[in-house]
Structure formats: C-alpha cells, structure tokens
Amino acid sequence: MGAVFFYHLTRDSAAGTLTTLLPKALAAGMRVEIRGTDADMLDRLDQQLWLGPEEGFLPHGRAGGVHDALQPILLTLAESVDATTSCLMCVGGAPVDPAEVSGLDRACVLFDGDDPAALDQARGQWKALTGAGCAAQYWSQDSGRWEKKAES
C-alpha cells in the first residue's frame, strides 16, 4: 500500500511545488497523474509546466489524447487512476480514495494554506485516509523549506 503525502502550501503555488516534486517522481521511475477539479485550472497548470524547472523539461500532456498511457505526467479530471499510474498528485481540492492509494506507490495532496475551505478539506481527507489505514505524512513550508510535521 502506498502512502499519502500532504503538502500545505504557504509560500509556493501548486505549480511551483509540482516543478519541485515531479522531477523527483520521474527520477524514481514513477508515472504521475495530476488530478484537478477544474479544466481551466489544468490549462493554466499545463502552461506553467511547459515552463518547467530551470534545470529540465517536464514531459506531460492533457488527458483525452490517443497517447495518454504513454505520458510520463498526465493532467486529468478523471476520478479514477489509470492502471499504469504509480503516483497521483491531487490539486485544487481533487479527491483521493483509500482504495486508490492501495494500488499506488504514492499519492500527494497539495492544498492552499491561505484558503480555509482547502484546509478543512485537507483535514477531512487526512482523517478519512488515515482512518482507512493509509500511511500519511504532513509536510509544511512555513520555515521556508519543506519539513515533515506529522506522520501516521
């Protein structure tokens, strides 16, 4: 069973955090799906990922194409992961189900620390996922760098 990593965004945007996390996931051999809840948000994220980190290119595509299964990083609105996905990254309040986590190497929940509704939703996701037996870690960047603050 995989673990769920919660990223409490207080300094960087979701796109900025993804440009840090995605190269590490790719280097570990993971195929990543980024699940969002809004097509416009995924369009903006898609454009930001094309700019990528300074040191490299982030190969990715939007779901709905003929080559979805070949994309190392797939941006999607789908509520279930593809069988070849090993890492799911949820942004914009996208849900993650405990059953999904069991089939993944890792799931990540990125949430806006300045949005009270996003904080409440992340707390609810933490309780639901840990209550279902999923291992979880909570990461915060309050100090300026990512630090693990809690683990279950």
Residue 94 φ then ψ, to 5°: -65, 140
Q: What is the pLDDT of residue 29?
A: 96
Torsion of CA 115, 6, 11, 56, to 10 degrees: -130
- The number of folded domains in the chain is 1
CATH of the domain at 119: 3.40.50.10110
Q: Burial of 37 by CB count in 10 Å (0-12 exposed, 13-18 middle, 19+ buried)?
A: middle
Taking only the tens of pLDDT, the chain with its 152 residues reads 689 999 999 999 999 999 999 999 999 999 999 999 999 999 999 998 888 667 778 899 999 988 898 899 999 999 999 889 999 999 999 999 999 999 999 999 999 999 999 999 999 999 999 999 999 999 998 888 899 999 99
Q: What is the pLDDT of residue 56?
A: 76
Phi-psi label, residue 137: left if phi above 0, alpha if psi -120 to 50, beta otherwise? beta
Residues spanned by the domain of 133? 3-151
